[in-house]
Amino acid sequence: MLTILFDGIAYGMVLFVLGCGLSVTMGLMNFVNLAHGAFAMLGGYVAVLAMQRLGLPFLASLPLAFLAAALVGIVLERLVYRPMYAKSHLDQVMFSIGLVFMAVAGTDWLMGSTQQFIRLPAWLQGRFEIAGIGIGRYRLFVIAICGLLAISLHWGFTRTRFGSRLRAAVDDARVARGLGIPVNRLFAVTFALGSGLAGLGGALGIELMGLDPTFPLKFMIYFLIVVTVGGTSSITGPFFAAMLLGLADVLGKYLVPQLGAFIIYALMVMLLIIRPHGLFARGRA
C-alpha cells in the first residue's frame, strides 16, 4: 500500500515538472497552450535518441532534453505563438490542437509509432526495502530531482527579482508594462523555461508513463488538470494539484482498474464545478 503511495508521489512529481511551465505561461499571457505536451514529447525523444544513437549516459541526456525543448520553445514562441496572444481562447485552443496534431503525426512519420524504451543505468534499476516499503530506485531518483526543482522554482518565484517581476506581470500585465517591466521578454524566457521543464519531465517520465507519438494527446488532459485545479498564480498550487492527481491516478488504477482513467476525469469535473477558478486560487476574479 505504501509502495503504491510512493509510486503515486513519483508520478505526481513528474506531472508537476511537466505541467508547471504551462501554468505559468497560462497565467502570464492568458494563453491556453494545449501543445505543451508536444514539448514534453520532444524532450523524451531527444533523450531516447541521445542514448540510443549517440550512446550518451542517461544523466547527460536529461539536460539535453531540457535544452532542446527550451530552444524549440523560444523559436516557436517568436514565430507562431506571438500573434496568438491577442486572440480568443477558442482560437488559441484550435491553434494549439493543430500544433499537437502536427507533432503527433510528424513524430509518427519520423520515429515510427512504436513505444520507445530507454535503458536505465544499473544504479537506478531495481528496488530496495525500508521498513517493509518497497522503494524503486528510479522513483526515488525522480522524486529527488523533481523535489529539488520544485523547491528551486518556488524559491525563484518568490525570492528573486525575476520571480517578483513575473508575479507582477501575471497579476496585471498592463500595469507591469507601465512600470517598465519588459513583459514580452519575461514571457519569452518563461516560455522557454516552461518548455524546457516539460522536455525534462518528458525525458524523466519515459520510464513511468511510456513514450509514443500519441503522448501529447494522451497526457494533455493531465497537464490541464494540473493547471486548472492548481491555479496559475503560484508554484505551490500546481504542485499540490499534481500530487493529488498522481496519487489519485495511481491509486485508482491499482485499486479499481476497471474504471480506468474515469476517476481523475470525474475528479477534475467535480473540482471545477466546486471551485471554477482552481483549488488553490487566490480570491481574485
Partner 1 sequence: MSAAAFEARVREALRAGRRWYPAEFLFWLAAFAAFLLLPGQLLLLNEVAILALFALSLDLVLGYAGIVSLGHAAFLGMGAYAAGLLARHVTADPLAGLACGMAAAGLLGLATSPLVLRGSDLTRLMVTLGVALILYELANSFASVTGGADGLQGIMMAPVLGLFDFDLFGRTAYLYSLSVLFLLFLVARRVVGSPFGLSLRAIRDNPLRASASGVPNGRRLAAVYALAAAYAGAAGALLAQTTQFVSLDVLDFHRSADLMLVLIIGGAGYLYGGLVGAIAFKLLQDGIASLTPQYWMFWIGLFLVLFVLGGREVIHGAVRAVVGRVARFGRGAAR
**Which among 45-53, 124-132, 155-163, 261-269 is the span making contact with partner 1, rule CB under 8 A?**
261-269
Identify the residue among 110, 131, 273, 284 touching partner 1 (CB under 8 A). Answer: 273
Q: What x/- string results for residues 220 through 259 when contact with partner 1 is judged by CB under 8 A?
A: -x--x---x-----------------------------xx
Residue 133 near partner 1 by CB under 8 A: no
- Residue keyed to cell 524503486: 136
**DSSP string covering 17-69:** HHHHHHHHHHHHH----TTHHHHHHHHHHHHHHHHHTS---HHHHHHHHHHHH
Q: How many CB atoms sit inside 10 A of residue 94's CB?
A: 15
d(CA 251, CA 7): 9
**Is position 120 an interface residue for partner 1 (rule: CB under 8 A)?**
no
Report yes or no: 264 and 33 within 8 Å, Cβ to Cβ.
no
By CB under 8 A, tell whether 95 contacts partner 1: yes
The answer to whether residues 33 and 96 touch, using CB atoms and an 8 Å cutoff, is yes
Options 105, 144, 179, 255; binder of partner 1; rule CB under 8 A? 105
**What residues numbered 185-224 form the site for partner 1, per CB under 8 A?**
217, 221, 224
Length, in residues, of the chain:
285
Least distance in Å: CB of 220 to partner 1?
8
* Residues contributing to the site for partner 1 (CB under 8 A): 32, 80, 83-84, 87-91, 93-95, 97-106, 108-109, 217, 221, 224, 228, 258-262, 265-266, 268-269, 272-273, 276-277
